[in-house]
C-alpha cells in the first residue's frame, strides 16, 4: 500500500514538474515573458495560498515587467495571459470583441441566480442584455430620479437619528443607502426607503469573500468544464428568498394599473411579449420568473456594493483634501440655493466638480482591481504580435493603469482636474474604466453613477467629512475581484445649517 502511494505521489510530482516546464515553454515560444511565481497554479493559486487580494498579485506582475506588452502566467489547464499594454487591452476589451466576448467564467444552468448578464456569454448574453438595456435609458433614469432623491433624503434623516453611524464601518453604512435606493427606484420594493432590509443582508452575504466562495471562483476561472462537472452553484442559499421576492413583485405589478417605469414594469412587458428571440443565432429564451430574477439579482448586487464603494472612495479623498471638499460643498450649496432647495436629474448632471471628484476617487479606489476575458477564437494581439489561442484565459489591468505614473502623473495625488471636460479625450481617460470597458461595460453604469451622485449630494449638503489613514497607509482586504480598502477611518460631522442656508 505504501509503495502504491509512493508511486502515485511520484507521478503527481512528475506531472507538476512537467506542467511547470510546459507553461513556461508555451509562452517562451510565442516570445512572451513568463512570470516565475506559481508556474503551475498561477495568480489564482497564489491568491488561495496567501493573504493578498488577487489584484495585488497582478500589481506585482505589472511592476516586474514594466516594458512587456503581456506576461504569461501559470495555469493548471488553459493557458493564461496577463495583457498589460494599453493598446492590447483596448484590443481585447473593445476592438476585437468577437475574439474576446467571453467574460472568462462559466456557470451551471441550475445555478439560477448566476445566470445573469454578468456571467452569461455569447448569444444568450447578447439577447438578455438587449432585453434589459431599456431599463437604463435617460428617460427612465429621469423618471425614477425622484425616488433615488427621496432615498438620499431619507438616508440623511436616518443618519441624524442614528449618529453612531457617522463613524465606524462607513462602507456598511453607505451600503444601507445603496440598498434602499435601488430597492425603491429599480424594483419598487416598499413605499419608502428601508435601511434594515433583508435584501441588504443578502447582498452583503453574496459578496463576502469566504474561503468557500474563493474556491468556487478559482475553479470557475481555471476551467469552465471542470466547474460544470462539479455542478457548483454560487448563490444557491439566496435562491428561495430572492426568486420568491421577485415573483411577488411581478405578480403584484401585474395587478396594478400604475406604471412606475422600473424593473418590475419591464418584467411584465417582457413576459407579455413572449419568447425572446435572437435573429442572428436563432436562440430562444422563455422569460420565466427565474430568468428575470437572475437579472434582478445582478442589478441589485451591482447597485449596492460598487455604489457604496464609489461613495466611500469619494469620502476618503474629500476627507483628506479640504480644498476639494470646500469646492464640492460650495457647488452643492449653490445648486440648492439656485433651485429653491430642489435637486432634479438635470441639476445633478450640471455639478461638474462633483463628477470630477467622483471620477478621480474611483481612479484611486476602483471597486474592482482587474478585468477578465477568455479567447474564443485564435487571434493576434497587435503590440508584440502575440498569438493567442482559443481557450486562453486573459487578465487585464485596471487598478494598475489607474496608478501608473506614466499614464496619470503623481497617481497617489487627488487631482479632480484630471477629469475636467477638456481632458476627457486624453489617453489617460481611455484607460480609466471603473465600470469595465467595451461592449461588456456594466449595463447599469449610468444608473449607478446617478445613485452615487444623489447620495453624495444630500450627504455632503448636511455633513462634512474627515479621513484618517492608519499607520502604513491603506491596506486591502483579501478578495478575488474587488478592491476593499481598510486601515482608515472616515467620520462625518453635521454642517452648520445656518451658514449653508
pLDDT at 497: 56
* Torsional class of 9: left (φ above 0), alpha (ψ -120 to 50), beta (otherwise): alpha
pLDDT at 140: 85
10, with CB counted inside 10 A (0-12, 13-18, 19+), is exposed
Residue 212's H or E segment, with its range, is helix 211-222
The angle, 0 to 180 degrees and rounded to 10, between the axes of the packed helices 445-462 and 352-364 is: 110
Report the distance separating Cα 435 and Cα 399, nearest Å: 12
pLDDT at 212: 76
pLDDT at 98: 93
pLDDT at 15: 58
Report the distance separating Cα 399 and Cα 434, nearest Å: 9
pLDDT at 454: 96
pLDDT at 42: 85
Nearest to 492 by CA among 470, 473, 469, 467: 467
Cα R_g (the chain), whole angstroms: 24
What digits encode the pLDDT tens for the residues 83-113? Answer: 999 999 999 999 999 999 998 888 888 888 8
- Segments of the chain with pLDDT less than 70: 1-21, 189-196, 222-223, 497-501
Those residues with Cβ within 8 angstroms of residue 284's Cβ, 6 or more apart along the chain or in another chain: 275, 276, 277, 278
pLDDT at 183: 84
What digits encode the pLDDT tens for the residues 366-384? Answer: 999 999 999 999 999 999 9
- Residues in a beta bridge with 494: 463
Binding residues: 442
Give the three cell numbers for residue 156. Answer: 440623511
pLDDT at 6: 58
pLDDT at 262: 80
Report the distance separating Cα 78 and Cα 393, nearest Å: 7
Binding residues for heme: 442
Amino acid at each position: 500500500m505504501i509503495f502504491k502511494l509512493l508511486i502515485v505521489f511520484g507521478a503527481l510530482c512528475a506531472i507538476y514538474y512537467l506542467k511547470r516546464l510546459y507553461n513556461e515553454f508555451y509562452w517562451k515560444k510565442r516570445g512572451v515573458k513568463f512570470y516565475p511565481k506559481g508556474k503551475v497554479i498561477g495568480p489564482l493559486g497564489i491568491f488561495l495560498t496567501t493573504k493578498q487580494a488577487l489584484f495585488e498579485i497582478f500589481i506585482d506582475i505589472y511592476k516586474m515587467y514594466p516594458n512587456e506588452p503581456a506576461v504569461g502566467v501559470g495555469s493548471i489547464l488553459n493557458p493564461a495571459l496577463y495583457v498589460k499594454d494599453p493598446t492590447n487591452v483596448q484590443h481585447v476589451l473593445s476592438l476585437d470583441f468577437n475574439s474576446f466576448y467571453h467574460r472568462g467564467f462559466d456557470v451551471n444552468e441550475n445555478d439560477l441566480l448566476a445566470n445573469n448578464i454578468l456571467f452569461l456569454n455569447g448569444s444568450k448574453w447578447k439577447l438578455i442584455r438587449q432585453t434589459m438595456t431599456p431599463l437604463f435609458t435617460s428617460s427612465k433614469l429621469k423618471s425614477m430620479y425622484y425616488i433615488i432623491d427621496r432615498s438620499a433624503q431619507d438616508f440623511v434623516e436616518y443618519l441624524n437619528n442614528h449618529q453612531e453611524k457617522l463613524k465606524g464601518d462607513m462602507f456598511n453604512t453607505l451600503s444601507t443607502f445603496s440598498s434602499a435606493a435601488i430597492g425603491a427606484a429599480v424594483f419598487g420594493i416598499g413605499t419608502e426607503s428601508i435601511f434594515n432590509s433583508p435584501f441588504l443582508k443578502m447582498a452583503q452575504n453574496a459578496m463576502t469573500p469566504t474561503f468557500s466562495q474563493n474556491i468556487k471562483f478559482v475553479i470557475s476561472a481555471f476551467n469552465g468544464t471542470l466547474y460544470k462537472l462539479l455542478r457548483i452553484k454560487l448563490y444557491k442559499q439566496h435562491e428561495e428568498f430572492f426568486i420568491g421576492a421577485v415573483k411577488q413583485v411581478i405578480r403584484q405589478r401585474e395587478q396594478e394599473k400604475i406604471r412606475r417605469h422600473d424593473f418590475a414594469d419591464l418584467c411584465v412587458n417582457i413576459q407579455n411579449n413572449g419568447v425572446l428571440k435572437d435573429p442572428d443565432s436563432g436562440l430562444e429564451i422563455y422569460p420565466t420568473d427565474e430568468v428575470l430574477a437572475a437579472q434582478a439579482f445582478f442589478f441589485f448586487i451591482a447597485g449596492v456594493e460598487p455604489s457604496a464603494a464609489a461613495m466611500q472612495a469619494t469620502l476618503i479623498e474629500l476627507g483628506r483634501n479640504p480644498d476639494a471638499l470646500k469646492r464640492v460643498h460650495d457647488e452643492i450649496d449653490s445648486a440648492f440655493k439656485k433651485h429653491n432647495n430642489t435637486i432634479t436629474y438635470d441639476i445633478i448632471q450640471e455639478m461638474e466638480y462633483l463628477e470630477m471628484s467622483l471620477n478621480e476617487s474611483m481612479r484611486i479606489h476602483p471597486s474592482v482591481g482587474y478585468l477578465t476575458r477568455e479567447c474564443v477564437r485564435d487571434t493576434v494581439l497587435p503590440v508584440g504580435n502575440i498569438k493567442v489561442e482559443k481557450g486562453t484565459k486573459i487578465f487585464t489591468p485596471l487598478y494598475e493603469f489607474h496608478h501608473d505614473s506614466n499614464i496619470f502623473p503623481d497617481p497617489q495625488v487627488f487631482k479632480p482636474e484630471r477629469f475636467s471636460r477638456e481632458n476627457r479625450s486624453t489617453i489617460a481617460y481611455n484607460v480609466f474604466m471603473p465600470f469595465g470597458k467595451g461592449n461588456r461595460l456594466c449595463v447599469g453604469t449610468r444608473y449607478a453613477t446617478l445613485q452615487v451622485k444623489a447620495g453624495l449630494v444630500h450627504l455632503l449638503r448636511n455633513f462634512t467629512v474627515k479621513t484618517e489613514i492608519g499607520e502604513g497607509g491603506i491596506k486591502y482586504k483579501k478578495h478575488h475581484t474587488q478592491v476593499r480598502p481598510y486601515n482608515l477611518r472616515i467620520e462625518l460631522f453635521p454642517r452648520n445649517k445656518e451658514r449653508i442656508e
